[in-house]
Chains A and B, each alone.
Chain A
Amino acid sequence: MSVTIKIDDRTLQVEEGMNVLEAALQNGIYIPHLCHHPDLPELGSCRLCIVEVEGEDGVTPSCKLEAKDGMVIRTKSDQISHLRNLSMELILAAHPEDCSTCPKYGQCEMQTLIQYMNVSATRMNRRVKGFKMNEENPLIIHDMNRCVMCGRCVRACGELRGVGVLQYNKKELETYVGTLHDKLLKDADCRFCGACAEVCPTGTIRDAMNYTPIEKRDTLIPCQATCPVHTDIPRYIRYVRQGKYAEATAVIHEKLPFPECLGRVCTRACEGKCRRGEVNEPVSIRNIKRYTAEHTDNSLWMNKIKKLPATGKKVCVIGGGPAGMTAAYYLGKQGHSVTLKEQYPALGGQMHYGIPSYRLPRDVVEKEAGFLSLADVKVETGVRVDHPAELLSEFDAVLVAVGTHKGVILPIPGSDLDGILVNATFLRQASMGEETGMGKKVVILGGGNVAFDCARSAVRLGAEEVHLACLEKREVMLADDEEIEQATEEGVHVHPGQTFDQILDDGNGHVCGVQFSNVEKFYFDENRRAVTVKEENSEHVIECDTVIFAVGQRIDLAEDSGLERGRGNSIATPTEGSLATSVPGIFAAGDAVYGTQTVIKAVASGRDAAIEIDKYLGGDGDITETLAPADTADQWIGHIDGFGYLERSEEEFIAAEERDHDFRPISTGICDAEICGESRRCLQCDLRFGITGHRLWSDYSNDAKEEAAI
């Protein structure tokens, strides 16, 4: 029921029983307050929000006052300012005098309040509480000398979150906020949700990372910020935890079209930044993605995808790898008529012809490439385009996303012998089931993930002995540790720290071995050129009949393509922040622009290209879509025993002896029994953004500002 109340001569209609402080704040009347927070139960302890009610003696805290019909309230009087200022003086007497050395300076609710009330504690006996700053906890700093005992954090942790880690403690005569027996947060089962830091009006409980208001989201949800396409990771993990795989997958599809592929091969930059990693180990984000994508029929998001009316514009995408497919998919949904030309028989690019199928099964690639039909993309395979400008007569725009499909052979002595193979070609032929020309004893030169793909493919193709040698020391090898370990398990001999001196001739123009020296030092000089110092007299030979170069890949496009080239022969995109090439109407994306990188980077580049081309064709460039239902994240997360110690669940691999002889998938992902537990480990770093922000006097009427100025 709505009632009429009067606050300082303003008549308001509010819900009966509503707290008068909120009623005032929501109607643009500022009343100073400290312990009150709209999302928390009232405490009524700070006494800054006091008001007078007509017909009643004395003052009442407005945060505890319930609106009744006809109530007449005064927020200013001599009595009020005397008591209010006295309260502030008392608070300040136990608070550091100088804000300028405080990390919260400039972003502090308390600081603005002091400014507004314009009081200081000079009349009072000041004290420094003498607590040591506690920086031993991950993510959160406790600096109890700055605490004003508003109790918001205790209520946020207890009543809002249901975790109940923070409480009032008392040591001798000093009450302070802390954990039971002053345990570390992790040992007290803190969930590191950040609610305490979010509601704290001072710099007492604060994030260990500093940030400006603009950087806040990216700093505090680093997984999403780090993901090249900014997948809403905490949101989908929350759905996974609830067993809502359709919704979770829909969240992923809002940003990328190939969750199953990425769920297997993504390099997971997100996990490197995951805040859970500060507590113990990062969340297995990639495997959660894979699990959810494998456990839904996709109908939910498919029924919701955007399909704008036809624009009549025609786009040709050259190259059916992740970048090209992504761009084609989004351009199709923007209403353009898209044709995708791919030189090989199947779509997928590196996902089909580079990454071996034991890591990324081809039916998975095929299934997700199939999503292109949702965007009505016309696919033409077996069509190679070397002169994209010729297409401009037929198409309004062309995107070149041909990737890097040509392997690099280092010009060392013997590099032209028979028996020399190169990564891109070798892996493509292996993928297509073609003869590769590989013998029985194989040496791979190179130490990145592609080199390991070659080595492990060689094992599977029946090589009797496989060696892999690279320049880098073991600790700094470029490949993922997991790759190195698994290859070793499969019998690959890894030789880090080697220079490739020469390839030896068996006298008949065929390879018979490689001569290496040990690397003593390897560094970059002041001109950022690599310098290698060999260990003297360390030359040694590994005998072999096949050498595979795996030291990089280049773009595979005719030199006379008509497009300006840049570093490493890549396609130049002369305007900073744009994917437009030197030829108007022709754009470029993916590895062809920036060199061989990751699938997810290619997807991001494909999205950027779609946005830019859509704008070029007269669209608004808005490719966002809402595929999952609105998130109703529960602010109440509850207590979990031993939360900080919950261990990361890993994907499961088939044993080495069972996997080393064919190209069947080697990983079964996270198991059903562990998916819920793993998703529960997520700290839900986004949850605190659902908490109402601080209300400062400066957000209110001009009156408040003028008053503070006096």
Chain B
Amino acid sequence: MSMLMNNEAALAQLSALTKEALEEKLGKREKAGAITAALYNSDMERRKDILLAKNPAGIIAGLCALSCLTGAKKAEIVSPCVADAAVANGLKAAAEKAGLALTLTEDDFVTKTEHRSDLLVSFEELAAIAEKLAGEEPKALYAVGDGDLAEADPAMTVKAFLESQGDVPEDIKGIAVDHAFCPAGALETVTLGQLASRSGVIRVLTGKDCILDRARKEILSLRKKSCGKCTFCREGLYQLQVNMDAVAAGRGKTTNFEMSQEIAEAMLVSCNCSLGDDAGKPVTTMMEYFRDEAEAHVRRKECKAGACLAFLQIYVDPAKCQGAGECAKVCPVDCIEIKPGYTALIESFDCTRCGKCIDACPNGAIVRTAGKVPRNAETAVRLKNAAAAAAGAADADDDEDDGASRSSARAGAARRHRTLRRPGR
């Protein structure tokens, strides 16, 4: 049997089992007022919701077994998925068959204080209980990136699992699991079980992933979901976000890292739910395994992966630019200067590094770099076939419907940039 298949067998077993028999199979449990099944608050991937659709019998069997063991009178399933009628009906039908009083609640967050006397349990645990009821040894669920969840033995190494799921990129530098990072070097020894992942989703990090950028994204998504009751989760995440944003914007100091690390470490032991427990991890694991890459943003003003916009430069390669002006048409902040007979020039102060011009340029003349702008690209250069280019530029002028002249582009940009979000220097 698989956890991802409807475990009718377990449900059928149940009626024949006494409390004593269950205790023998599953161990004793403390008394509880109700059983509440949900995903962990920290699981933002929500892949394991699929168990509700694929294995309603197993979920209900697990709930029934736990109700019996804890004396709970009610059971509740909390997930946004129960809004789906097919999922809800599957669960309800199984519950009815088993005679279980079941409530379905459409929510993606479980507040512990509302469940003071209840047993909180994850869908995966329920499915695993059902496996045991059916006489099988349950495995665990993992996925790589956006791939499907697969059952795997928790004793397997991460590397072996990655390989079993497809090609592993050459330039893998580590993985992100839930809200933590793990370096590539450890993957051969660390087992799936040791990852202690709630979501089971392993995302591979390559040379194109900036660790700081990833950490910031984790922090933001954690902040978005945090219920905000615990001091460390609420205020700690705020501090981490501000500090990491400062670094990403090029304004970072080493104290931003020191402060963040101090707070993040405290967060690991100071919160009331799995989300808070994980909320410090983007920073703690980044500092533990990827310190150099992170600190380079401050020490060398460098983002190796080219993800942090503040460290990028976008410039026009004078050797390739034909002065066609397509770039200027798409630039949302109007910061590209086109002078008839000259190559285009990007006013780097106003440029938001959005990259639109790169795609628009027919000559592939616009370059994004994590390093320095070459000296020869710092000024506009006279075009070789100036006359032809000038004609082309005049065409472009006619196309402009607001009639703004090229030389006013700078003023326009200056006028507008005040209202736009722009990474600082």
Binding site for B on A (CB under 8 A): 41, 43-47, 58-59, 82-83, 86-87, 90-91, 93-94, 123-125, 127, 149, 151, 168, 170, 173-175
Contact = CB atoms under 8 A, between A and B. Distances in A.
A91 B266 contact: no
A123 B116 CA distance: 36
B113 A90 contact: no
B228 interface: yes
28 contacts: A41-B113, A43-B229, A45-B229, A47-B231, A47-B232, A47-B270, A82-B266, A83-B269, A86-B263, A87-B231, A87-B232, A90-B232, A90-B235, A91-B235, A93-B239, A94-B235, A125-B238, A125-B242, A127-B238, A127-B242, A149-B231, A168-B227, A168-B228, A173-B224, A174-B228, A175-B227, A175-B229, A175-B234
B322 interface: no
Interface string B213-230: 000000000011011111
B292 interface: no
A86 B266 contact: yes
Nearest 9 CB-CB pairings of A with B: A175-B228, A90-B235, A125-B242, A45-B230, A45-B229, A87-B231, A47-B270, A173-B223, A58-B269
A82 B224 CA distance: 27
B243 interface: yes
Contacts of B232: 47, 87, 90
Given A44-B272, A127-B238, A173-B224, A149 B229 contact: yes
A43 B262 contact: no
B265 to A, nearest CB: 10
A260 to B, nearest CB: 50
B259 interface: yes
Nearest to A92: B235
Nearest to B256: A125
A45 B242 CA distance: 22
Contact of B239 (A46, A124, A168): A124
A83 B231 CA distance: 11
A175 B226 contact: yes
B282 interface: no
Interface residues of B, number: 25
A248 to B, nearest CB: 38
Nearest to B224: A173
Given A41-B113, A93-B235, A125-B242, A149 B266 contact: no
A445 B342 CA distance: 102
B138 interface: no
A125 B239 contact: yes
A125 B228 CA distance: 18
A489 B334 CA distance: 79
B236 interface: yes
Contacts of B272: 44-45
Contacts of A87: 231-232, 266, 270
Interface in B239-293: 239, 242-243, 259, 262-263, 266, 269-270, 272
Given A43-B113, A59-B269, A90 B230 contact: no
B247 to A, nearest CB: 13
A91 B229 contact: no
Nearest to A64: B272
Contacts of A82: 266
A43 B235 CA distance: 17
B236 A90 contact: yes
Which of A46, A90, A91 has most B Cβ within 10 Å?
Answer: A90
Contacts of A125: 238-239, 242-243
Contacts of A43: 113, 229
A170 B242 CA distance: 19
A58 B266 CA distance: 11
Given A45-B229, A45-B230, A123 B238 contact: no
Given A43-B113, A86-B266, A170-B228, A149 B239 contact: no
A90 B231 contact: yes
Given A58-B269, A173-B224, A90 B243 contact: no
A666 to B, nearest CB: 55
Interface in B304-335: none
A571 to B, nearest CB: 66
Given A44-B272, A149-B234, 16 more contacts: A41-B113, A43-B229, A45-B231, A47-B230, A83-B269, A83-B270, A87-B266, A90-B232, A91-B235, A127-B242, A149-B229, A168-B229, A173-B238, A174-B228, A175-B227, A175-B229
B235 to A, nearest CB: 4
Nearest to B113: A43
Contacts of B223: 173
A78 B70 CA distance: 40
Nearest to A175: B228
A159 to B, nearest CB: 9
Contacts of B266: 82-83, 86-87
A19 to B, nearest CB: 14
